[in-house]
Structure 1
Amino acid sequence: MTISRRRLLATSGSLALTGALAAACGSNTGRGDATSGGGGPTLQQWYHQYGEAGTEQAVRRYAAAYRKATVKIQWRPGNYDQQTAAALLTSSGPDVFEVNGPTLDQIQGGQVTDLTDLFDGVKDDFNQAVLAPKTYGGKIWGVPQTVDTQLLYYRKSLLKDANVQPPRTLDELVDTAKALTDKKVKGLFLGNDGGAGVLGGTPLYAAGLSLVTEDGKAGFDDPAAARTLAKFHRLYTDKSLLLGAPADWSDPSAFVQGLTAMQWCGLWALPAVKKALGDDFGVLPFPKDGAAGKPSVPVGAYSSAVSARSKHRAEAKAFAKWLWIDRTAYQEDFALSYGFHIPARISLAKKAAKLREGAAADAVRYATDSGWAQPLLWTPACQVAYQDALNRIIKDGANPETEVKAVVRKTNGELQRVQKKKS
């Protein structure tokens, strides 16, 4: 579990990150610290600092195996997104870099290189939900590396004791959470704020809606949005939600310690949950709501991008293709040997041994069939307005129709603003 992975899913359309987990491993930041590979030009490759032991050593090993260029790794602690945004404005930044994006500003500003041609013959093998936000103007600007997702964990024995089934609809989730709540155990944990920070757009997609439509407008200008979001206030007033847990939603401790019968948490928690509970748990997508609804699974992916200011763009593109498209063994290793993530390639996710059975296999299927990622056009201003409204709906019982209408106005204004910047 890492700070960076949770930040990734925050920008996957659902989360405002709360709390922090300690990052581990890796403090080298200088250009001279890198492991070199072959001859040819020297390429600078940047990564954010992972909290997963062994990841830094792995990416240095990958770089050392490349023979068509000398690849120098920079392992960057601190505010990585800010560092890369500043570096892309100069000629001394990275050639190849990991990015939580690329962002719309980076694409529209001509700071990143078109990578569409790298996907010839393999585009359909990438998880389409995470590939979509890397696509703009019909071109692909980043190669997804691994997929991170969130799921509804439930304790099988507690549901059996309460004579309830795993919830398949949002109404069933509300009723089941109430049935599972007693003096010692709460039915559901959505985070210490009641869910506004972690849920974000997930309920909208469960209602058959979206954050942004294909034609660039608010995707939740529909009465179904208010009806769906209102149900979270019922969870709050029913006192079915665990609030004030020792650790927030990203940590599975509340679930494994029996403080809650169900918890919304990340895929990264699955190994710890399995170690603690054995087979006494299952995972589900967020339940659908309404006749037009469908299961909803938020996904996100860091990607590998190439700076438009690189003096070796062709060589940098060739290296990105070698590592993140051609070298499938490295991709599986990166996803599953140090943390617990889904390879971005569908074929790899289906055949990876650690993902072929039980809850892990279910998670792969949900992410592939029901995954959604934050649209590229969804700006931080849209996110803040939406999350603030959801918080008022959940905790204060604010009128959902009024709140949704206000966010729709804000969102449409933002979308018009950013789309005017198209070149």
Structure 2
Amino acid sequence: MISPAGRPTRRTAVRWAGALALALATTGCAGGTGAGSAAGEVTSITVLDYYTQRSEHTQWDQVLTACGKTAGVRVEHTSVPPASLVPRVLRQASSRTLPDLLMLDNADLQQVAQTGALTPLDQYGIDTSGFAEGILSAGTYDGKVYGLAPYVSTVALFYNKDMLAEAGVAVPRTWDELKEAAAELTRPGRHGMAVDASATFESSWQFLPFLWSNGGHEKQLDTPRAAQALRLWVDLVKDGSMSKSVLNWTQADVHDQFAAGRTAMMINGPWRTAALNDDEDLRWGVAPVPVPRAGQAPVTPLGGEVWTVPQSSSEERQKKAAEVLTCLNSASNTLTLAKQHFTVPSRTAVAARYAEQDPTMAVFVKSTEGARVRTGELGVRWPKAATGIYTAIQSALTGEQTPEEALRRAQQIATSD
């Protein structure tokens, strides 16, 4: 994913950035194959995303169709599996058939924009006001906005209300409280806490709130503050509060453990809300990710997909695509989409109203206000840092290396050529 609803898509995009640049250079970025692409009136545009799940694809198809009607065009909507999106973009670049409207995980935006494949949105007069700074930066490259996200997401702490009440445990707000609560909640057949610690970018995504909230930084991973964050996870596994199986659990697996009552707390995203609501026997709550010290606000990563207008040989097709993109990001559509996908509307005012309407989403709305974009500091080098982070997590949680040793290796990976 992301994969749907802002769940981080895990691909190492560095390898294809150069290839895409070469493809664009040789093809001249000619685009769109729909009606009217050569000259005259544009009657249809092509759209590409990775929303392959049937219900999700249908929901997006409906809003794209409606926005197409507003722009006076028919939308030819195609969805491919997340792992297939980038290879498809490469093929379409080389065959001069890039889509007119393209969705990208926000972590991939800078990689693609760097190649010259995308058009800056200011040339279409698109209004980018009303977005939180972090959210707008998700679609920004080299000072220009190339993509807008109708909704965004981040992570928080989910907890089983009944289990906490039975154990007399308060919802943890700090790391010390988290360790104490997780230990108290651990029983035979049940662990107190669960995270995704797999050898994937999802693990890096889940670790970032702990790294960032403690003053650690992706630019320099081998610091004492980063080691303290990693040691927290190590200690939870060592004392049995967290299963060693987290080394193999995806975010979906973590959710399944929580829903089945095999863990009392978990780190996860708002897209899990629909499934949790379907379980009538499960009483759950959500709170901010615990922080190192009381009174701090957690710094969480920003997830979500941005919609972009690729370069093409037809300015008219680009303009129509931009009209559809504008429609997708209207206040009413951002609210509708957020409700459908259990995410956070990108416009600040809309998100505030949403939090009032759905208190379970209030934590996520608050967290996204100060959320950071994964590529914000490292840009196209973020995938290397992410690889270093999940490699360090694996090494430290298995006991192969100390947190300090694991993070020194992570820094080497992050800065390697």
Structure with higher helix content: 2
Do the aligned partners of residues 8 and 363 (structure 1) sit closer, same or farther apart at CA in structure 2, a change above 3 Å counting?
Answer: closer
CA deviation after TM superposition for structure 1 residue 110, in Å: 1.0
User: Helix, strand or coil: the match of 2:302?
Assistant: strand
* 1:80-127 superposed Cα distances (whole Å, 9 cap, x missing partner): 22212332344322121111245333222211111145676543x224
Q: C-alpha separation between the residues in 2 aligned to 1:72 and 1:248?
A: 34
Alignment of 1:283-302 (within 5 A): 283-289=286-292, 294-302=297-305
* 1:3-55 superposed Cα distances (whole Å, 9 cap, x missing partner): 71278424599xxxxxxxxxxxxxxxx9789xxxxx64542222223315132
2:268 is equivalent to residue 265 of structure 1: yes
Q: C-alpha separation between the residues in 1 aligned to 2:10 and 2:372?
A: 12
- 2:52 is aligned to 50
> What TM-score results when the alignment is normalised by the length of structure 1?
0.78
Report if aligned partners of 1:114, 1:141 keep a CA contact under 8 Å in 2.
Answer: yes
Q: C-alpha separation between the residues in 1 aligned to 2:5 and 2:358?
A: 25
2:216 is equivalent to residue 209 of structure 1: yes
Q: C-alpha separation between the residues in 2 aligned to 1:291 and 1:159?
A: 20
Range 127-136 or range 270-279, more displaced: 270-279
Q: C-alpha separation between the residues in 1 aligned to 2:193 and 2:11?
A: 22
Q: C-alpha separation between the residues in 2 aligned to 1:394 and 1:239?
A: 12
Do the aligned partners of residues 31 and 107 (structure 1) sit closer, same or farther apart at CA in structure 2, a change above 3 Å counting?
Answer: closer
Q: C-alpha separation between the residues in 2 aligned to 1:276 and 1:108?
A: 45
Report if aligned partners of 1:296, 1:372 keep a CA contact under 8 Å in 2.
Answer: yes
User: Helix, strand or coil: the match of 2:323?
Assistant: helix
Report if aligned partners of 1:192, 1:243 keep a CA contact under 8 Å in 2.
Answer: no
Q: Which amino acid aligns with 2:8?
A: L
* 1:331-388 superposed Cα distances (whole Å, 9 cap, x missing partner): 3223323x322222222222238x623222222222224x223113343232222211
Range 132-141 or range 192-201, more displaced: 192-201
* 1:186-240 superposed Cα distances (whole Å, 9 cap, x missing partner): 10111374994652423211212332xxxxxx14453211122112111111111
Q: C-alpha separation between the residues in 2 aligned to 1:55 and 1:343?
A: 16
User: Helix, strand or coil: the match of 1:107?
Assistant: helix
Q: Which amino acid aligns with 2:53?
A: G
Root-mean-square deviation (CA, aligned residues, Å) is 3.4
* 1:391-414 superposed Cα distances (whole Å, 9 cap, x missing partner): 111221512222223323442455
Q: Which runs of 5+ in 1 are unaligned?
A: 14-29, 34-38, 212-217, 415-423
User: Helix, strand or coil: the match of 1:236?
Assistant: helix
Report if aligned partners of 1:113, 1:141 keep a CA contact under 8 Å in 2.
Answer: yes
- 1:80 is aligned to 85
User: Helix, strand or coil: the match of 1:73?
Assistant: strand
2:142 is equivalent to residue 140 of structure 1: no
- 1:249 is aligned to 251
> What TM-score results when the alignment is normalised by the length of structure 2?
0.80
Range 306-315 or range 159-168, more displaced: 306-315
User: Helix, strand or coil: the match of 1:263?
Assistant: strand
Do the aligned partners of residues 276 and 286 (structure 1) sit closer, same or farther apart at CA in structure 2, a change above 3 Å counting?
Answer: same
- 1:392 is aligned to 395
Do the aligned partners of residues 318 and 274 (structure 1) sit closer, same or farther apart at CA in structure 2, a change above 3 Å counting?
Answer: closer
Aligned residue pairs total 381
Q: Which runs of 5+ in 2 are unaligned?
A: 13-31, 36-40
Q: C-alpha separation between the residues in 1 aligned to 2:176 and 2:125?
A: 41
- 1:308 is aligned to 311
